[in-house]
Structure 1
């Protein structure tokens, strides 16, 4: 069954990016992509991606060779410079309006909510978010883009360590 998963990293004080939208703090940290809750295993189980425009622009601008390997919906109200040949689907629609198409594109794999926190929160608000998998870095940023800027009830399903990160898998607890 396809799950919708917010897979991300955060600073110890709960920010996923600096105030100027940088992820440099994250890229300087040691982890094992093949290790516990690592990127390689997660990506292999992913069939479709959702990301916000700020995340898309940062990755495109900071990793010039990056081309999404899966159908990717970019939630935006702005014009975007798209990567030629990539399966990018810009949308200004509500997440609930495109979720079924994302699940269909994912097949028997998961939908990955890359970022940001508000986008993941929109999926949670509509009852569409199943899991949050977060790697917690040993650094504080003091300000920036919050991990999840709203209340979401979670239950710990798995926890451990991957390199410098504490990694935790949470199930989203839906109201009774």
Structure 2
């Protein structure tokens, strides 16, 4: 049996520790994982922390990015893989929307809809998160979020509060 190859989109976030290195290390590990190919990561963007009560300027700021890839893994195999990577990077799940060393969300899995106790795809709040939409637009100017429309139009509607992040090795202007 030949595995179906499916396009996927991941979102990454971190607001504790060496945020940029943690995200890039997780992305390298994900790109090297069996069943993943054609991995392409966006530039990272910096944002204010978003809590259950709303934006929190007192909390450590987040770095966020997205990455596209092709996979032969199932949605739940990807979830297990990303949760292992989060744990490898010190992720502790003690508070919903709390500070974290690493968060990896599966935003899209081809054109598939998944809704169960462990996973919802497309991600239910991606359309209202500039920290997902802005880096995604940088990665793919023609991106479309299934069920919501063009990413550029979604971002224009909600506004972009993210800021570019200068990574080590970036040329300084």
Q: Larger relative CO (CA 8 A, sep 6+): 1 or 2?
A: 1
Q: TM-score when scaled to structure 1?
A: 0.30
Q: TM-score with structure 2 length normalisation? A: 0.30
